């Protein structure tokens, strides 16, 4: 299985970027993983920007990718629940799982409709940079749970 994380914009804060890189490096011990950073739209209106970013997100997806959209309206999981879902996806022979974090104005209707699952990291409001850290850390934690490693305790 292959994990891909797609997000809009760069992680500008070097300390936060280092945390994301650290967790992704740890995660790569368990699964192939890559990040696709899309540039933020320079459109004149928020709506045009959402549509532009949405087209680029959709354009970067393989047809058979299983897409998990990070969405405040999505379902919440515990860490063990996420690990269980990942195990189901793996046993279902999914080749690619894509986690999408949209831009600061949200995502287009097309991205929401393309998503196979919508996941809420928390009811709390997180910056996009913090959401990237939480996503990477929780994916790493899920794999330590799957492999019975002590990190998650």
User: In the prediction, which pLDDT does 24 show?
Assistant: 97
User: pTM value?
Assistant: 0.94
Question: pLDDT digit string (tens) for 47-73?
Answer: 999 999 999 999 999 999 999 999 999
Q: How confident is the model at residue 153 (pLDDT cuts 50, 70, 90)?
A: low
Query: What domains are defined for the chain?
Result: 2-152 (3.40.1280.10)
- 3-class secondary structure per residue, 26-91: HHCCCCEEEEEEECCCCCCCHHHHHHHHHHHHHHCCCCCCEEEEEEEEEECCCHHHHHHHHHHHHH
Q: Looking at the predicted structure, is the pLDDT value of residue 43 above 60?
A: yes
**What average pLDDT does range 30-50 have in this prediction?**
94
């Amino acid at each position: 299985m292959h994990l891909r994380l797609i997000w809009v914009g760069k992680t500008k804060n070097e300390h936060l970027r280092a945390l994301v890189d650290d967790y992704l490096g740890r995660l790569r011990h368990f699964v192939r993983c890559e990040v696709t950073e899309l540039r933020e739209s320079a459109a004149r209106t928020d709506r045009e920007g959402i549509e532009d970013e949405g087209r680029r997100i959709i354009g970067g997806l393989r047809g058979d990718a299983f897409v998990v959209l990070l969405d405040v309206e999505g379902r919440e999981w515990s860490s063990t629940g996420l690990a269980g879902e990942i195990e189901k996806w793996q046993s279902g022979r999914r080749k690619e799982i894509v986690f999408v974090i949209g831009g600061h104005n949200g995502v287009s209707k097309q991205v929401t409709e393309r998503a196979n699952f919508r996941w809420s990291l928390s009811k709390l409001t997180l910056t996009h940079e913090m959401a990237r850290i939480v996503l990477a850390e929780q994916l790493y934690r899920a794999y330590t749970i799957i492999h019975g490693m002590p990190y998650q305790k």
